[in-house]
Amino acid sequence: MGLLAITPTAFASRVGAKPVFSRYPFSLGVASGDPAPDGAVIWTRLAPEPLEEGGMPMKAVEVGWEVASDERMRQVVAKGNAIAPPDLGHSAHVELQCLEPGREYWYRSRAGDEASQIGRFVTAPAPGATVGRLRFALCGCQHDETGYFKAFRHLAAERPDFVFHTGDYIYEYRAEGAARPGRVRQHNGDEIYTLVDYRNRYALYKSDADLMAAHHAAPFIVTWDDHEVDNNWAGTADQDGTDPQLFLLRRDMAFQAWYENMPVRRAQLPKGPDLQLYRTLRFGSLIDFHSLVTRQYRSDQACGDRSSRAAPRPLIRIGQSSAVRRSSGWTGSSRLVRRPGRCSGSRLRSTSATSTASPASAG
Ligand SMILES: [Fe+2]
């Protein structure tokens, strides 16, 4: 298999000189997501001062990345450069393509003289392949103040094929840890409203060593619930009756920060206060995995967000879910299928939200 070389294009003129960081820039780790039969997204966000707006200069920074077929990164099968622009909180999203289906890969990033931690992902089985077993973890509603994230440490040790995160990746609430019994930690600052607020809150959560270990161990498929924006938000309504036009400004900033901090594809880049979050991922003939959205396209909750005797409770609580369409018995390993003409020979391709691919053959 050959190597991929990626050259920055549109952002090339904005890239600053080789950066020198005052502190380790990969404080938020690396992550992968949305596995496909031929690749996945790999992500990082440079933040030497993670809780203070990242601590990066207002310049685009080049981030090198490489993917290997072994855990020690000795057999590199793809590498390239992406751009981490200030417009996106110095995050970099790389969409890998032309990898092999149904197998493990490892990856890391570099910036300046610093190298990131090493992460692992597993590509999805080949389209239509008979798959007898898939191991994935389900998680959500991780409130930093109300508990430690030790479950993520155990999740990481089990090395699942992927992790489905059902949302409430952060909570927007103000710091209450010191004032309320049972709280084990404290949020950074007041309730979050601005893009900087959301960035700093994601940094707080993503600095957690156990959550970071889970990201390093497996690709995540993420959706959101309400707390990525505001408690109980629905469509253009928040829980406080804010003017919808004002709330959409907050939603816009929350969506941008979410994109910056999640290993998702460019298809999920926000367009103002809108973001296409729903998507389907396929795992051979075993699962069509529909990641749903239950907040963005709906009317407000009844009864001012409160339960009432006058309002009958719904029989079914609608939440984030996935749909398992069909299953089949175990008959063997995945079948490798390549799309004709796209990844032939030693050519590999990749796209990034902040760089474009220039396929090349190398050793
Ligand atoms: Fe929740």
Q: Which of 139, 272, 159 is nearest to 213 (CA)?
A: 159
The CA 74 to ligand 1 mean position distance, Å, reads: 41
Q: Please indicate, yes or no, if residue 363 is contained in any of the structural domains.
A: no
| Domain assignment present for 254 | yes
Query: By C-alpha distance, which of 78, 50, 82 is closest to 64?
Result: 82
Å from CA of 259 to ligand 1 middle: 19
CA 144 to ligand 1 centroid distance, Å: 12
Distances (CA, A) of 276 to 84, 195, 204, 270, 320: 22, 19, 26, 7, 15
CA-CA distance, 126 to 38, in Å (whole number)? 8
d(CA 62, CA 14): 10
Overall domain count for the chain:
1
Q: How many residues does the chain have?
A: 363
User: Residue 339 C-alpha to ligand 1 middle, in angstroms?
Assistant: 40
Q: Cα(143) to centroid of ligand 1, in Å?
A: 8
Q: For residue 87, report the distance from its CA to the centre of ligand 1, in Å.
A: 29
Q: Are 70 and 10 contacting, i.e. CB atoms less than 8 angstroms apart?
A: no
Q: For residue 140, how far is its CA from the centre of ligand 1 (angstroms)?
A: 7
- The C-alpha atoms of residue 83 and residue 87 are separated, in whole angstroms, by 11
CA of 40 to the centre of ligand 1 (A): 27
- The pLDDT assigned to 2 comes to 43
CA of 184 to the centre of ligand 1 (A): 18
Is residue 205 in a domain? yes
E-only strand ranges, 159-299: 162-165, 220-222, 279-283, 287-291
CATH number at residue 294: 3.60.21
CA of 319 to the centre of ligand 1 (A): 9
Which CA distances in Å does 163 have to 33, 137, 225, 273, 333?
9, 5, 16, 27, 21
Tokens 């927007």, located at residue: 172
What pLDDT is attached to residue 309?
Answer: 53
Domain limits for position 94: 6-305+316-357
291: CA distance to ligand 1 center in Å?
16
Task: Give me ligand 1 centre to Cα 115, in Å.
Answer: 34
Which segments within the chain are labelled E, that is strand?
6-7, 30-36, 39-45, 61-68, 76-84, 91-96, 104-111, 114-115, 119-122, 136-139, 162-165, 220-222, 279-283, 287-291, 350-352, 356-357
- The whole-model pTM stands at 0.84
Distance 222 CA to ligand 1 centre (A): 14
Residue 122's DSSP bridge partners are 104
How far does the centroid of ligand 1 lie from the alpha carbon of residue 168, in Å?
Answer: 5
d(CA 277, CA 294): 10
Does a structural domain hold residue 246?
yes
CB 188 within 8 A of CB 201: yes
pLDDT score, position 14: 63
C-alpha 141 to ligand 1 mean position (Å):
4
Q: In angstroms, what is the span from residue 112 Cα to ligand 1's centroid?
A: 38
The Å distance, Cα 230 to ligand 1 centre, comes to 11
- From first to last of its 363 residues, the chain has per-residue pLDDT tens of 344 433 333 344 467 778 999 999 999 999 999 999 999 999 999 999 999 999 999 999 999 999 999 999 999 999 999 999 999 999 999 999 999 999 999 999 999 999 999 999 999 999 999 999 999 999 999 999 999 999 999 999 999 999 999 999 999 999 998 899 999 999 999 999 999 999 999 999 999 999 999 999 999 999 999 999 999 999 999 999 999 999 999 999 999 999 999 999 999 999 999 999 999 999 999 999 999 999 999 999 888 777 655 544 444 443 333 333 332 222 222 222 333 445 544 334 444 444 333 323 333
Write the DSSP string, 265-293: -GGG--BTTB----EEEEETTTEEEEE--
Looking at the domain assignment, is residue 362 inside a domain? no
Give the dihedral sign, CA 236/238/243/245: negative
Please report whether residue 1 resides in a domain. no
Q: Please give the pLDDT value at position 344.
A: 47
Residue 206 falls within a domain, yes or no? yes
For residue 248, count other CB atoms closer than 10 A to its CB: 17
CA of 169 to the centre of ligand 1 (A): 9
Question: At 176, which amino acid appears?
Answer: E
Q: Is 340 exposed, middle or buried (0-12, 13-18, 19+ CB in 10 A)?
A: exposed
Cα 252 to averaged position of ligand 1 atoms, centre (Å): 21
Tokens, residue 201 = 């809150």
Instruction: Answer yes or no: is 311 within a domain.
Output: no
Strand partners, 95: 41, 351
Burial class (CB in 10 A: 0-12, 13-18, 19+), 304: exposed
